[in-house]
Amino acid sequence: MIGTTVTIGDIPVRLWSRDRSFSRLVRKRYANFVRSCSSDSAELIISLSPGHSPQADQELKVFYRDGTWYIQRGDFSAEWDMLSRRGTVSQPRSPYALDSLLRILHTLILAQQGGFLLHAASIIRHGRAFIFAGQSGAGKTTMCRLAPPDSVLLSDEISFVRPAAFGYYAFGTPFYGELAVPGKNTSAPLSAVYLLEHATENQIEELPSRLALTQFLRNVLLFAHDPETVGQVFSSALQLISRVPVRRLRFAPTPRVWETLEQVVCS
């Protein structure tokens, strides 16, 4: 068995495969996130399915039974023991199934740690992280393209947030959108979450707590719908909005939007 440790958000997952060419594919796909093996790594044993890849658009099912998470989609089937942090997956040779499974596993792990995967872009400026949340077409990729050259891209599509001793941190992820560029494997304290909305002028709006909560939750990736996990995520979201500003950002697609953001940070 060949092991490759992929560490996203300081969570190492050791990926095991008997197929050397697939292991090389994994190391290439997650190159910036491959680290030496850690004693506290979670482990996932990958078995490659023969023949052509099944349909990935078949319904995703994520459910919990007797201490094990079961994750099934048209192109893969996995089991994950949350206590031992060990699992198995049967999937095609394509890395896309593994990409999807890793996102799901991280949402399950983060639900217990008070963190999130968000449908959001994230950028580091002057040592602080900014998150820009929104569904497709909201402007996540646009905000990344407009960012000053000395900015650090964490992700243009799927952002990783978890609590720390003081506040929250945003981490880079290998999960990307239109830019087709993985984020940097680094992190920074989270300055604010901005909910994107297209406009003709740049404007930042403070939101009441209830609206901030509901809008934030709309952008949380959550594949499991059992009451316990949903309750954990809801409680974690309440904690985050009490400690991190969640604001509406109405913006015009010009670099001046970053001037507006930095004026708020410096004020």
Q: Based on the fold, state whether residues 93 and 146 are members of the same structural domain.
A: no
Q: What is the pLDDT of residues 16-59, one digit of tens each?
A: 999 999 999 999 999 999 988 777 889 999 999 875 556 656 78
Q: How many CB atoms lie within 10 A of CB 230?
A: 13
The predicted pLDDT at position 168 comes to 97
Structure confidence at residue 54 (pLDDT): 60
Whats the size of the chain, residue-wise?
267
Q: What residue ranges of the chain have pLDDT lower than 70?
A: 51-57, 265-267
**Are 107 and 177 part of one and the same domain?**
no
Same domain, 206 and 134: yes
Residue 108 shares a structural domain with residue 147: no
Q: Given this model, what pLDDT does residue 188 score? A: 97
pLDDT of the residue at 51: 58
Secondary structure string (H, E, C) spanning 156-182: CCEEEEEECCCCEEEECCCCCCCCCCC
Q: Are residues 84 and 161 in the same domain?
A: no
Identify the domain containing residue 247 by its residue range. Answer: 116-266
Q: Are residues 199 and 124 in the same domain?
A: yes
Give the pTM.
0.93
Sign of CA dihedral 256, 257, 259, 260: positive
Domain boundary among 79, 113, 147: 113
Helical (H) or strand (E) element with 11:
strand 11-17
Q: Residues 95, 105: contact at Cβ < 8 Å? A: no
Are residues 82 and 23 located together in one domain of the fold?
yes
**Beta-sheet strands, E only, within 18-156:** 34-35, 42-48, 61-65, 68-73, 76-81, 86-91, 116-125, 128-133, 152-155
The residue from 84, 113, 142 where one domain ends is 113
Using the 3D structure, point to which of 51, 86, 113 is the last residue of a domain.
Answer: 113
**How many domains is the chain partitioned into structurally?**
2
- Are 98 and 104 in contact by the 8 Å Cβ rule? The answer is no
User: How many helices, marked H, and strands, marked E, lie in the chain?
Assistant: 6, 16
> Are 26 and 151 found together in one domain?
no
